[in-house]
Amino acid sequence: MIAHLIAERCTNCAACVAACPALVFDPGETRPVIARADACQTCYLCELACSEDALYVAPENDSHAAPPVTQLIAAGLIGRIRADSGWNDPADSGQLDDYRLLGPLLGAGVDIATQRYMARHAHD
């Protein structure tokens, strides 16, 4: 669930207010307000919408607990989703070039489970 809105980074563009499907944020004078933290669904899409890397969502769907911002920055976890997704790069920079491998890798995992099970039960 939403854990941090980093005041020094926020430009009050309100992209998070518009993006959140659960309306966790309200507009504010100097920056958005986390008005309904408990409505957060841990979807991370506010982080993706934030071009200033000013948000951090904790990974548990029932907890806002997170380390301090300085520690998260040092660990490279602030803004990581946006960077991994390629949203800071031009649209033609190949950020989805590996996406075609999703289906084959999913199927490979299913095959591995099947073969392991068959080997284990070969003498049943």
Partner 1 sequence: MSVTKTDVLVIGGGMAAAWAAIAAAEAGAHVTVVDKGAMGTSGVTATGGPGHWWVSPDPAERREAIARQTAKAAGLGDPAWMERILDLTWRHLPTIAPYYPFGRDGRGGRFINGVRGPEYMRALRAFAITRGVEIRDHHPALELITDHDGRVIGARGQNLRDGQPWDVRSGAVVLATGGAAFRSGLIGGHGCTGDGHLMAVEAGAHLSGMEFSISYSLSPAWASTRTLPFTGARFYDADGQELDIAPPRTGHLHNQALGAAMLAGTVFADLIDAPRDLPPILRRIQPLTVAAFERRGIDLFRDRFPVRLFGEGTVRGSGGIDLVDDTCGTGVPGLYAAGDAATRELVAGASSGGGAVNSAWALSSGRIAGAAAAAEARREIAYDGVPRALGRAGLRPDGAERDIDTAALIRRAGAAVHDYDKAFWRRESTLATSARVLDDDWQLIAAHGHATGRARVELRAAAAVVATARWVIASARERRETRGLHYRDDARAADPAQARRLLCGGLDDVWVRPLSPAKAEVAA
CB of 119 to partner 1, least distance (A): 11
Give the Cα-Cα-Cα angle 21, 33, 75 (nearest 5 degrees). Answer: 85
Phi then psi for residue 33, to 5 deg, are -110, 135
Pair of tokens at residue 63: 């907890």
- Burial class of residue 41 (count of CB atoms within 10 Å of its CB; 0-12, 13-18, 19+): middle
Selected binder of partner 1 within 42, 52, 64, 73 (CB under 8 A): 42
> Does 124 participate in binding partner 1 (rule CB under 8 A)?
no
CB of 39 to partner 1, least distance (A): 9
Which H or E run includes 17?
A: helix 15-19
> Does 71 participate in binding partner 1 (rule CB under 8 A)?
no
Pair of tokens at residue 74: 């040092």
CB of 42 to partner 1, least distance (A): 5
Selected binder of partner 1 within 14, 33, 48, 73 (CB under 8 A): 48
Q: What mask, x for binding partner 1 by CB under 8 A, covers residues 84 to 123?
A: xxx----xx-xxxxxxxxxx-xxxxxxxxxx-xx--x---
Q: What mask, x for binding partner 1 by CB under 8 A, covers residues 20 to 39?
A: xxxx----------------
